Structure 1
Amino acid sequence: MLRPNVLTESSQNHSTAVSGAAGGKRPIFDTLDDLQRRLEDPGRASAAGRLTRGILDQLGARDPLKVPARDFNVAAEKYYREELRSRHLMEAFEALSKDLEALAKSGPRDLLRAMEAILPGDAIAGFLRRACLEVLEGRADPSLLQRLIGLTLCAVEWDSRRATRDPVQGAKNASSPSIHRA
């Protein structure tokens, strides 16, 4: 069993000694700090706590046990379908945008040609903004979705190639925390 301050001691003792080139913490210490917050305050920091808090905020309530079950369930469904879905989609589009911008700057020719074939003469950032809006509003047509899937496959292929060619960089990419907090 973990002592309550083990994570704090570990994180504080090592974060300055093992700083990255930019002086920031390494991802493992961010992860340990997040774990500590989840253990100390699960009502706010755990995934279940954050979900419950979001649902209760929609209801204007503080205690889930004081809300009728039907009201809580309806609010939960609305929260999942609207708020959480929108937030996750926007995060995904942000990540895809960053990946594609980096790919456009220094990617291999075959992937750049594939991107040009998918978006002939169209700016990536502009397309992704429009696509994000249409997907969020539920009015994306099959053509837009096909282009979006094609761009996503380009980004995935490029990530895969970089991980295969450079095991050190690939390991850094693989150990990066997900954009979604569990």
Structure 2
Amino acid sequence: MNSSITAGIQGINEMTAIHENMPSYRKHDIAVHTSAPKEFAIHCRIPEWIMSEAKIYVNGSLQENTAESGRFYAIRRTWMDGDQVSVILPIGIRFVPLPDDGSIGAFRYGPEVLAGIGETERILHAEKDDIASEVEMENEREWGSWRFFFKTVNQDPAIPMRRIRDIGYEPFQIYFKVKGRSTANHS
């Protein structure tokens, strides 16, 4: 998504021009190169972190919608040079509770763990049935590239969040205790 044309001129590349905001999916393209037509299977792993069904295309034609992450999805056919497989994986923010205590958990954006930036440990006040909605992507761009900045909503003060791999030396928190919001606090 980097759209720098030169060090002094910034432009918008094709992908950035198509999407005003960061797409809610990840797309992976696989190009087949073979010297002659050949029958074999391509196995695509569907990850458990997808937010809805994945879509699998061969040469632009939809082959399958699937959310089954327990096995690889196999595409068996006679492949020609230049055939293309596209896998579209819906991505989003999810709250992952601890197995033994559903009131404590971490946030993920797809496969990546999010960390709250801050000097002190924070408790989140949220509705228990939709904890993930307490975190949103800031959806900002720096030139033509999207930045992976997140923040809590309905928390006072808000907690800035980053992917764990983007954390430097600042103090952070991964696991959050969640307490239900009382009806008096709704506004």
Same fold (TM > 0.5): no
Q: Normalised by the shorter chain, which TM-score bucket?
A: under 0.3
TM-score normalised by length of structure 2: 0.22
Specify which structure has the bigger relative contact order, considering alpha-carbon pairs within 8 angstroms and separated by 6 or more residues: 2
Larger helix percent: 1
Larger strand percent: 2
